[in-house]
Amino acid sequence: MLEIGNVVENFCLPNQDEEEICFRDIKGRWIVLYFYPKDNTPGCTTEACDFTDNLENFDELSSIILGVSPDSPKKHRNFINKKNLKITLLADEDKELAKQFGIWRPKKLFGREYLGVVRSTFIINPNGVVAYKWEKVKVKGHVEEVKEKLKELQNSI
């Protein structure tokens, strides 16, 4: 489980265009890394659309947004096209990144237990350190909260 103050280890995952995105190549900027369970589901769609709608604000804060789920690059591409998303989505099909961040855990739905992604968001500073995190995210108002926390963290440096 990654906590605030932990260094993020390098990772490489394919994006929606099957291009490999490696942490070492994007480190040095503020990164909003958000994990979500599944493309094209109501909460995940709302969250992705909210990040897309606020992309300009995050750009002004010199940050990048990366969404991560166990879906394939092809499913991500379809999701992006269907919802006109402008953010980058990473395919964590083997769930290794979710496990590294400690958010691949037992969940319950209608009394049935299964392993899944716990909706979570991490702000990673330019040094590659977790600066803030949210677990069990409630989608409504979350993007605004992330934006405000990012501003606060940047102003405290």
Total H helices, total E strands in the chain: 6, 9
Question: Residue 109: what pLDDT?
Answer: 84
Domains assigned to the chain:
12-155 (3.40.30.10)
Q: Residue for token digits 């350190």?
A: 129
* Residues 17 and 77 sit within 8 Å (Cβ to Cβ): yes
- Verdict on whether the full-model pTM lies above 0.75: yes
Instruction: Please pick, among 12, 22, 44, 49, the residue that the annotation labels catalytic.
Output: 44
Residue 49 annotated as catalytic: no
Question: Residue 43: what pLDDT?
Answer: 95
C-alpha 96/C-alpha 100 separation (Å) is 6
Per-residue pLDDT of the chain in tens (157 residues, 90 and over written 9): 899 999 999 999 999 999 999 999 999 999 999 999 999 999 999 999 999 999 999 999 999 999 999 999 999 999 999 999 999 999 999 999 999 999 999 998 889 999 999 999 999 999 999 999 999 999 999 999 999 999 999 998 7
Which residues neighbour 104 within 8 Å (Cβ) at sequence distance 6 or greater? Answer: 95, 98, 115, 116, 117, 118
Question: Residue 143: what pLDDT?
Answer: 97
Question: Residue 1: what pLDDT?
Answer: 83
